[in-house]
């Protein structure tokens, strides 16, 4: 059992019969007679849906054991992403709704950790950031301030906001947690 005040990102719990993974948790201690609360963002491990809620600090949950295995991404279709254990050759299928928008950032042979709950794959741990090519963006507007942004379509068709100097074909680094532009990767010789 784990109490709400000790919930941390990445922990899996059972609440009202449903398995959840903690996406974020922030504990706020109470003052005086007011007890503390933990503000959380949870992902349902069965449906992939997200839920934001607060729990009283002393509330207890059943902690669920998540097993992580490094696996290589093979391919994906409209409903499922397929992974293979490089050691044993075992394959795992993860429903695409559990991965959300980040599924588009999977590339062939990309090694990620797949999380299993009772031998069932329930989640994929993505790297914090990825490098990806800009497929289409408007030309930069000369004379604009450096702090203006424009929309860019990436090679996986995801959309992110980028600075004006980014051009078609540039490789950029994207933070997957926030889906935000971080920086441009310098080309050799530039």
Each residue's pLDDT tens digit, 167-183: 999 999 998 878 889 99
CATH topology agreement for domains 2-64 and 129-184: no
Encoded tokens for 125: 């741990």
d(C-alpha 50, C-alpha 95), whole Å: 15
Contact (CB, 8 A) for 41 and 14:
no
Sequential pLDDT tens for the chain (190 residues): 899 889 998 899 999 999 999 989 999 887 777 778 999 999 898 888 889 999 998 899 999 999 999 999 999 888 999 999 999 999 999 988 888 778 888 888 889 999 999 889 988 888 888 889 999 998 877 665 667 899 999 988 888 999 988 899 999 999 887 888 999 988 655 5
Residue carrying structure tokens 């920086």: 183
Encoded tokens for 117: 């709950």
Closest CA to 140 of 150, 130, 131, 132: 150
Q: Which residues, listed in sequence order, are joined to residue 87 by a DSSP beta bridge?
A: none
Superfamily of 129-184 according to CATH: Nucleic acid-binding proteins (2.40.50.140)
Question: Which CATH number is 2-64's, of 2.30.30.30, 1.25.10.10, 1.10.150.20, 3.40.50.150?
Answer: 2.30.30.30
Closest CA to 61 of 17, 30, 24: 17
| Residue spans of alpha helices (H) in 43-133 | 96-99
Domain 67-125 has CATH 2.40.50.140: yes
User: Which residues make Cβ contacts (< 8 Å) with residue 32, sequence separation at least 6?
Assistant: none
């Amino acid at each position: 059992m784990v109490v709400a005040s000790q919930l941390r990102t990445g922990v899996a719990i059972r609440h009202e019969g449903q398995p959840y993974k903690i996406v974020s948790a922030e504990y706020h201690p109470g003052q005086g007679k007011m007890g503390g609360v933990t503000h959380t963002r949870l992902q349902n491990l069965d449906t992939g849906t997200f839920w934001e809620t607060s729990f009283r600090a002393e509330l207890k949950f059943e902690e669920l054991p998540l097993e992580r295995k490094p696996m290589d991404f093979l391919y994906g279709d409209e409903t499922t992403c397929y992974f293979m254990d490089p050691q044993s050759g075992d394959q795992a299928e993860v429903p695409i709704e559990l991965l959300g928008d980040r599924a588009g950032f999977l590339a062939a042979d990309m090694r990620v950790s797949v999380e299993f709950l009772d031998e069932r794959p329930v989640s994929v741990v993505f790297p914090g950031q990825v490098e990806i090519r800009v497929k289409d963006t408007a030309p930069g507007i000369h004379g604009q301030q450096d702090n203006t942004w424009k929309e860019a379509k990436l090679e996986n068709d995801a959309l992110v906001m980028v600075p004006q100097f980014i051009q078609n074909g540039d490789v950029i680094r994207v933070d997957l947690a926030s889906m935000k532009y971080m920086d441009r990767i310098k080309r050799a010789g530039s």
